[in-house]
Structure 1
Amino acid sequence: MADTLKLRVIQGDAVLEKLDDDHPDLDRALKALSAKLDGYEDIWNYYDGDQPLMYTSGRLRDIFKDLDMATFVENWCAVIIDAANDRINLRGVTLEDKTANDALKVLWEELGINLEADDVHEAALVIGEAYIMVWKDDEAIDVVYNDPRLVHLFYESANPKKKWYGAKWWADSKDHLRITLYYDDRLEYYRSEKETKNTTSVRHLLPYSPIGEKDADGEVDNVETHEFGEVPIFHYRLERRKVKGDIVNVIPLQNGINKLVTDMMVSAEFGAFPQRWAITDSDIGDLKNAPDEVWWIPSGDGTGQQAAVGQFKSIDLKVFIEAVDHLASSAAIISRTPKHFLFQQGGDPSGEALVAMEAPLNKRCSDHIERFNPVWKEVVQFILKLAGTDIEKKDIAINF
């Protein structure tokens, strides 16, 4: 495999980029993790409701740059994700071998895999990928969900189904960047000599031993071998062509909805109530604006502008509501989410109508389950392998 081949994880295409000659795998991992950090962070923010106010004109953005408090959000991204996630529930696993099945039930409860599964499915729906790491340390098996911003898995170029190696990075308690590379026969540990924010190159990473071991030459022994024969990272993806979650195509519409809602709220504050005006050359200092007050305004002296009163037309907020409903309807169509999840409809639909309306959502969920199912089988098989039991995948039934 060419050391210059790097996967651009956000766009899903391959580009040529020179890697470090001494540590190509480490350099590849550092660049891949760095490449997807900002993009994934933005998508998580949209799901969490931390969404920026977008303007169609740079001039408007400059004018209103200090009006952050006047931003209102209708977070449809969360509705689209939660509508599917509520239907994807991992209930458990069944094995044909009763002894192995009983042992797995105990492990399943002890490891809290159902809770890890909820996080895995949520991240996969939001980002388009998620990871679970399975490892045995000090005779104890651990199964942990890992945020896709922290982990990446590389595949063989000749066989994209075969895992090559994985990588995980994080900041330790002293704010040093830690990176671990996971192979099918070993783990390699690295730690930055500088603080995380100042670590921008593979040259800033040094071999590191979590337990302080050194080899025969007195050098840091950063390699831990294992005999499991598999990379202990398991990758959940919505599709293989590129990393794409369920809200990627909805984000532009979400920006439009937030802009309309903000405009509506500002309009409601300044223009939704009737505003009255008066023209007169008399002193208005004694006029009081209060209930049961009558204003006596002289008609004028007959020359020039005469006294007049009137009322400005109030802003019809229905225009904004209709525009928001239109974008919400488009978001429902694009994401295959029933429209009644996003906005109110007149009347209650019949049972048959409800089934028809929710059919696209159910199909979306079933497609995701088909993608998740084989990965869960791999996870269960590896857990049992660490526990000393060999089970074939065909004997594992994942229950959703």
Structure 2
Amino acid sequence: MATPIDPQEVPDLVGLDDLHADYLALLDARPEYERAELFYNGLVDEKYSSPKVARLLSKFGLNDFPSFNLAHIAVDAITDHLHLNSVTIEDNALDNVLDDIRDANDLDEELPLLMHNAGKFGDAYLFVWPETDQSGNAVGVRMEPQDPRVARVFYSTENPTVMERAIQSWETGAKETLTVRANLYYADHIERWMHRGKVPKDARRAKWVPFTEDGQPASIPNPYGQVPYFHYRTARPYGIPLHVNAYGPQLAIDKLVRSHLATVDYQSFPQRYALVDPTADLSGSQTGDFHPEHPVDGISPEEPGDSQLDADPAALWNLDGYKEVGQFDAANPDHFLKPFDRYIKAMAQATQIPFQAFDSTGDAISGESRRVANEPLYVRVEHLQKDFGGTLRRSYAFALEVLGESPEDITINWKPVRNINDLQGWQTLLIKHQMGIPLDVIFAEAGYNSADIDSWLANAPGTETPNQAPQQADSNEGVTPNERPN
């Protein structure tokens, strides 16, 4: 078992200088995370160059019209391919321990959400810490995903690969009862702080005090020698939202959609006009169709009556007093729809997401063409599988260390991104195999994972594995071509 945490061995509080700066850094990072979530959810407010246009759209109720959101596709198209098949370890005796950790922390549900948040925000964290009994012995392990708006890690300036510390901060109460809590995590101890009321930016005016109100010490030893936070990120040192390049096209699309909707009423019900002839004699028989009080036809305006203007196709309307009638043309929808399509293409180009992910209504393309178009997407997914897989491996290794185990060779198995499931693709693979390419390479190109391939080849009768092929060749040494078996 891991070294028990002795509450009597309380380290000194040394992080006050770090605390305020780290807290402000956490606050400074929040607006960009909030912006990323707004764009992902299609809730960003549109800005208009003309205040009059903004007032008109408000009048029509279009200022609150839901966004025609496409930006989220730049995140979903990548994270939907991050399928974690399994986490395995060379020592089979630890398989049950891994299963217990996964079940106790609902990792089958939490890990996909964590990786999705890492794509949406650019950063996400996994906090790993022991569950202890009253004696301080580790009886379990907590693996808790944390939002980058409440937690942030900090790296060494000298060596950016070394995580120096982490902060977690949240608020309780409001106004007069507002309390800001903050925990600092170091490689050797954890510090717990609190601040009554809103924290001022000036460190000299801040009044941070150690938190001991729950009966626990303000400083807790960390016997594991590392910061218990694991950083899932799309870039270094801090991540970038996968849809950040979709922000501009999304704003343009929102503006086009709202402006187009403002003209739809005029396309459905055109606005008409009639030009009066000042020299016309208005005593004609059609006056009752236009005069509000019907002075000459004897028909009451309160009762329905037959109009003298017949709507039959061959009818002729005699309009006394009017020189010309007509209607105003509504805005041409092509002025909105053509730029709309162009901005969708711009979003696909800017985010390096295949266009068919944004628009599936186009012509069907072959499997090979689709794979070529998806190649940049596959490369990005595999890059994240490598980065997230390394972080997840370290997370599990630390969790097992907390439980007193010494894990070796933890393997993260992902569902392959590339897969071939069309006839043309398999025919190409068959030709490759007939040309001498081994089956394990063929299966790998088809998109199957290495564990399944090894199992199939091991159980397939008469199948040569790559290690057996050289032995076959050696057994034929010294045999003439005529003597070799067919």
Shorter-chain TM-score above 0.5: yes
1:326 aligns with 2:342: yes
Q: Distance in 1 between matches of 2:15 and 2:228?
A: 25
Q: Distance in 2 between matches of 1:96 and 1:150?
A: 36
Deviations 1:228-253 (A, max 9, x none): 11110111111115531111111011
C-alpha contact 1:337 1:360 (8 A) present in aligned 2: yes
Q: Distance in 2 between matches of 1:380 and 1:58?
A: 55
1:25 aligns with 2:21: no
Q: Which amino acid aligns with 2:163?
A: K
Q: Which amino acid aligns with 1:154?
A: F
SS of residue matched to 1:330: helix
Deviation at 1:70, TM superposition (A): 4.9
Q: Which has the larger radius of gyration?
A: 2
SS of residue matched to 1:204: coil
SS of residue matched to 1:360: helix
| Structure 2 residue aligned with 1:179 | 182
Distance 1:23 1:291, change over 3 A: farther
| Structure 1 residue aligned with 2:469 | none
Stretch deviating more after TM superposition (279-288 or 348-357): 279-288
Deviation at 1:339, TM superposition (A): 0.9
SS of residue matched to 1:308: strand
Q: Which has the higher strand share?
A: 1
Stretch deviating more after TM superposition (176-185 or 285-294): 285-294
Deviation at 1:360, TM superposition (A): 1.7
Q: Distance in 1 between matches of 2:145 and 2:195?
A: 24
| Structure 1 residue aligned with 2:84 | 90
Q: Distance in 1 between matches of 2:56 and 2:369?
A: 47
Deviation at 1:291, TM superposition (A): 11
Q: Distance in 1 between matches of 2:393 and 2:64?
A: 49
Q: Which amino acid aligns with 2:208?
A: L
CA-based RMSD of the aligned residues comes to 2.7
**How many residues are matched?**
363
1:39 aligns with 2:58: no
Deviations 1:86-138 (A, max 9, x none): 10122220101111123212221222112221122111111211101011132
Q: Distance in 2 between matches of 1:293 and 1:337?
A: 58
Q: Which runs of 5+ in 2 are unaligned?
A: 1-13, 133-138, 295-300, 312-316, 415-486
Q: Distance in 2 between matches of 1:315 and 1:273?
A: 13
| Structure 2 residue aligned with 1:166 | 166
Deviation at 1:293, TM superposition (A): 5.4
Deviation at 1:210, TM superposition (A): 5.2
C-alpha contact 2:270 2:328 (8 A) present in aligned 1: yes
1:115 aligns with 2:109: yes
C-alpha contact 1:165 1:231 (8 A) present in aligned 2: yes
1:335 pairs, out of 344, 347, 351, with: 351
Deviation at 1:268, TM superposition (A): 1.0
Distance 1:309 1:193, change over 3 A: same
C-alpha contact 1:116 1:145 (8 A) present in aligned 2: yes
1:223 aligns with 2:239: no
- Aligned-pair identity (%): 25
| Structure 1 residue aligned with 2:144 | 144
Q: Distance in 2 between matches of 1:349 and 1:175?
A: 58
Deviations 1:310-354 (A, max 9, x none): 222232212211111101111111112121121244322222222
Q: Which amino acid aligns with 2:42?
A: G
Deviation at 1:57, TM superposition (A): 4.5
Deviation at 1:358, TM superposition (A): 1.8
Deviations 1:198-218 (A, max 9, x none): 2234523211025324xxxxx
Q: Distance in 2 between matches of 1:332 and 1:117?
A: 27
| Structure 2 residue aligned with 1:5 | none
Distance 1:60 1:289, change over 3 A: farther
Q: Distance in 1 between matches of 2:15 and 2:187?
A: 21
Q: Distance in 2 between matches of 1:87 and 1:290?
A: 67
| Structure 1 residue aligned with 2:430 | none
Distance 1:291 1:379, change over 3 A: farther
Q: Which amino acid aligns with 2:275?
A: I
| Structure 2 residue aligned with 1:349 | 365
Q: Distance in 2 between matches of 1:134 and 1:381?
A: 10
1:129 aligns with 2:152: no
C-alpha contact 1:280 1:297 (8 A) present in aligned 2: no
1:253 aligns with 2:249: yes
Mapping for residues 60-79 of structure 1, pairs under 5 Å: 60-61=53-54, 69-79=63-73
Distance 1:333 1:209, change over 3 A: same
Q: Distance in 2 between matches of 1:159 and 1:91?
A: 33
Distance 1:127 1:361, change over 3 A: same
Distance 1:22 1:362, change over 3 A: closer
Deviation at 1:266, TM superposition (A): 0.9
Q: Which amino acid aligns with 2:246?
A: V
Q: Which runs of 5+ in 1 are unaligned?
A: 1-20, 214-220, 301-305
Distance 1:22 1:133, change over 3 A: closer
| Structure 2 residue aligned with 1:361 | 377
1:234 aligns with 2:218: no
Deviations 1:31-55 (A, max 9, x none): 1111111221111111112111122
Q: Distance in 2 between matches of 1:70 and 1:164?
A: 45
Q: Distance in 2 between matches of 1:289 and 1:74?
A: 46
Q: Distance in 2 between matches of 1:349 and 1:172?
A: 55
Distance 1:48 1:72, change over 3 A: closer
C-alpha contact 2:62 2:262 (8 A) present in aligned 1: no
C-alpha contact 1:123 1:148 (8 A) present in aligned 2: no
| Structure 2 residue aligned with 1:397 | 411
Deviation at 1:277, TM superposition (A): 2.2
| Structure 2 residue aligned with 1:13 | none
